[in-house]
A and B are shown apart, each in its own frame.
Chain A
């Protein structure tokens, strides 16, 4: 699935028109992009959009059900759930992008490097990557968070660390494919430098599946944030994050079960949007997928 046909670098095509054709032909992409744009807008405008400050407590009105004053009720300290959901959006997005950013920064260069130089370095690193991949990811993330310390940023750094080998393996495979393709041989024949080959030839071709993978990873990172917050590893008081809200709601599952719906829906919809976008891009970037 991850191997795409090696064609001329994508950059040579008229990108703009293709983008609009894609958008018009794929309502799923429109929906997911629309949702994500809305989410980013809400994140940026949180201070103006949210009806209450996210940490304003009212202990005489805790765990209140849905009302006209509180559209989604209040939590265990009487804070407005809708406001916390809105303020949680930037935190949750930050968490996802941080994790995936770390994975890209670590994984892509390593993958490019070992794929390009090959030899024993490739063998050793690949074995190392394989051993990291044989871990259940959450177990590894828990161990790393344990060592970095509890907190949203640390938790997501760990998730990024866990994701990195997946990207490294993907990029390595892409690099090998491109490297073995004729035109790189040709470029080497013309005496191009290694850096030139990597930047001009290998990277542009290897990057397409990476973009797809990264978009899909954003969804997984969001779910990982929720899971680690649930296990008390991602908390950052008193800031709101969706995973943290869910974890707190679970504490009151027998007293106020309705508390857990709002943050769960927020996570689900956002993960869905990232996934849908990733899938759409895969179809867009991989011509062989269109037939299926």
Chain B
């Protein structure tokens, strides 16, 4: 356990170049977009002179790397700039929308874990059985299912048809928790299905590996019942792996959220980033990418730390 602080320090140190690389890549990409943000800023009634003026006013006429440097310098101080379109501070814009996306992702992750992990374990324990085949088959189906198509089908049947859930939109969780969850249930299901499939599949094969190991065989040879082997040794051995697998899904969830938020009209950071990218609102795209990358890396860090606590071998490694 003594190396735990080291793990954390090392991870945090690794964060820095990744964040710089990631934001630089996005910054350069956004510069390549041929549309001119000054044009949109000038609005419906733009004159040519006004567009030139705006370009200068917002610094679009400066060299790219200078613009990036300015952005980075402000970002370090916690200022991500203002949206080019709503003139709202980007930090505030992200903070307003982040709760919806985080709630959607966590809701979905919990759903996926509650269903996916037991399915994976059951399939591994009953390897080769009808149940195993069913789980494996469903997992293949889940991976191949376009999540937003599933989302649309859910809306058609459960919202427009049966009126069980609101079709689209979101409400703030703190104001009306139950209503918020009701709004996010269908999107969370649509998002969770792919994750359930991946979890079930990966946990099945990870557990099979553990159960097939020499150590487990020895335990069984010693006369321990299969249930005891599974619960006392198998699950403990695999808990760290499970955590890692679940942690890796965070990236997938954020990715899926971009499209799911579009289907369900959820004002989250996914819909924010796609809208902003199309409209060349660089400060917002940059800000969202920065936040998401930091979140993904922090989640992985937390997973590493927890794994190390669950399984000392990981920390030692």
Q: Do chains A and B touch in the complex (CB under 8 A)?
A: yes
- Name the segment of A41-49, A99-107, A141-149, A184-192 touching the other chain: A141-149
The answer to the question of A151 belonging to the interface, with a C-beta cut-off of 8 Å to chain B, is no
State in angstroms the CA–CA spacing of A6 and B7 once bound together.
31
A275 touches B26 (CB 8 A): no
Q: Which residue of A lies closest to B35 (CB)?
A: A146
State the Cβ distance, A232 to closest chain B Cβ, in Å: 8
Q: How many residues of B contact A (CB 8 A)?
A: 53
Given known contacts A146-B278, A291-B212, is B149 in contact with A246 (CB within 8 Å)? yes
Please indicate the chain B residues that have their CB under 8 angstroms from the CB of A279 in the complex.
140
Q: Which residue of B lies closest to A270 (CB)?
A: B144
Please indicate the chain A residues that have their CB under 8 angstroms from the CB of B252 in the complex.
136
Question: Can you list 16 A-B pairs with a CB-CB distance of less than 8 A?
Answer: A127-B21, A132-B22, A135-B292, A135-B293, A146-B29, A147-B32, A223-B144, A226-B149, A227-B146, A246-B152, A254-B160, A267-B149, A268-B141, A268-B146, A272-B144, A275-B144
Q: Give the interface SS of chain A, mostly helix, strand, loop or mixed.
A: helix
Contacts of B166-223 to chain A: CB distance below 8 A:
205, 208-209, 212
The answer to the question of A198 belonging to the interface, with a C-beta cut-off of 8 Å to chain B, is no
B258 touches A147 (CB 8 A): no
Contacts of A102-145 to chain B: CB distance below 8 A:
127-128, 130-132, 134-140, 142-144
Please indicate the chain A residues that have their CB under 8 angstroms from the CB of B152 in the complex.
246, 250, 253, 260, 264
State the Cβ distance, A256 to closest chain B Cβ, in Å: 10
B7-32 interface code vs A (CB 8 A; 1 in, 0 out): 00000001001110110011001111
State the Cβ distance, B1 to closest chain A Cβ, in Å: 26
Among A135, A139, A149, A219, the most chain B Cβ lie within 10 Å of the Cβ of A139
Contact for A231 among B33, B274, B280, CB less than 8 A: B274
State in angstroms the CA–CA spacing of A130 and B238 once bound together.
25
B146 touches A219 (CB 8 A): no
Contacts of B244-297 to chain A: CB distance below 8 A:
251-252, 254-256, 258-259, 262-263, 273-274, 277-278, 280, 285, 288-289, 292-293, 296-297
B258 touches A138 (CB 8 A): yes
The answer to the question of B153 belonging to the interface, with a C-beta cut-off of 8 Å to chain A, is yes
The answer to the question of A257 belonging to the interface, with a C-beta cut-off of 8 Å to chain B, is yes
B258 touches A142 (CB 8 A): yes
Please indicate the chain B residues that have their CB under 8 angstroms from the CB of A223 in the complex.
144, 146
Among A146, A230, A257, A264, the most chain B Cβ lie within 10 Å of the Cβ of A146
Known: A130-B14, A143-B26, A230-B148. 9 other contacts (CB 8 A): A135-B251, A135-B289, A139-B255, A139-B289, A142-B277, A231-B259, A271-B146, A275-B143, A276-B140
Contact for B144 among A128, A148, A253, A271, CB less than 8 A: A271
Please indicate the chain B residues that have their CB under 8 angstroms from the CB of A276 in the complex.
140
Please report B residues at the A interface, Cβ cutoff 8 Å.
14, 17-19, 21-22, 25-26, 29-34, 127, 140-141, 143-146, 148-149, 152-153, 155-156, 160, 205, 208-209, 212, 251-252, 254-256, 258-259, 262-263, 273-274, 277-278, 280, 285, 288-289, 292-293, 296-297
State in angstroms the CA–CA spacing of A190 and B7 once bound together.
42
Among B19, B32, B144, B205, the most chain A Cβ lie within 10 Å of the Cβ of B144
State the Cβ distance, B65 to closest chain A Cβ, in Å: 17
State the Cβ distance, A149 to closest chain B Cβ, in Å: 7
State the Cβ distance, B11 to closest chain A Cβ, in Å: 12
Q: Which residue of B lies closest to A258 (CB)?
A: B156
Please indicate the chain B residues that have their CB under 8 angstroms from the CB of A233 in the complex.
278
State the Cβ distance, A136 to closest chain B Cβ, in Å: 4
Please report A residues at the B interface, Cβ cutoff 8 Å.
1, 127-128, 130-132, 134-140, 142-144, 146-149, 219, 223, 226-227, 230-233, 246, 250, 253-254, 257, 260, 264, 267-268, 271-272, 274-276, 279, 291-292
Contact for B146 among A144, A148, A267, CB less than 8 A: A267
A230 touches B262 (CB 8 A): yes
Given known contacts A219-B144, A275-B140, A292-B127, is B277 in contact with A138 (CB within 8 Å)? no
Contact for B30 among A136, A143, A257, A274, CB less than 8 A: A143
Please indicate the chain B residues that have their CB under 8 angstroms from the CB of A267 in the complex.
146, 149
Please indicate the chain A residues that have their CB under 8 angstroms from the CB of B296 in the complex.
134, 136
State in angstroms the CA–CA spacing of A144 and B285 once bound together.
12
State in angstroms the CA–CA spacing of A227 and B277 once bound together.
15
Please indicate the chain B residues that have their CB under 8 angstroms from the CB of A142 in the complex.
258, 273-274, 277-278
B277 touches A146 (CB 8 A): yes
Q: Which residue of A lies closest to B145 (CB)?
A: A268
State in angstroms the CA–CA spacing of A205 and B22 once bound together.
32
Contact for A128 among B21, B32, B33, CB less than 8 A: B21
A139 touches B263 (CB 8 A): no
State the Cβ distance, A187 to closest chain B Cβ, in Å: 31
B144 touches A136 (CB 8 A): no
Please indicate the chain B residues that have their CB under 8 angstroms from the CB of A144 in the complex.
29
B292 touches A143 (CB 8 A): no
A131 touches B17 (CB 8 A): yes
Given known contacts A139-B289, A227-B259, A230-B259, is B144 in contact with A268 (CB within 8 Å)? yes
State in angstroms the CA–CA spacing of A254 and B278 once bound together.
26
A134 touches B293 (CB 8 A): yes
State in angstroms the CA–CA spacing of A156 and B127 once bound together.
38
State the Cβ distance, B95 to closest chain A Cβ, in Å: 18
Among B141, B153, B258, the most chain A Cβ lie within 10 Å of the Cβ of B258
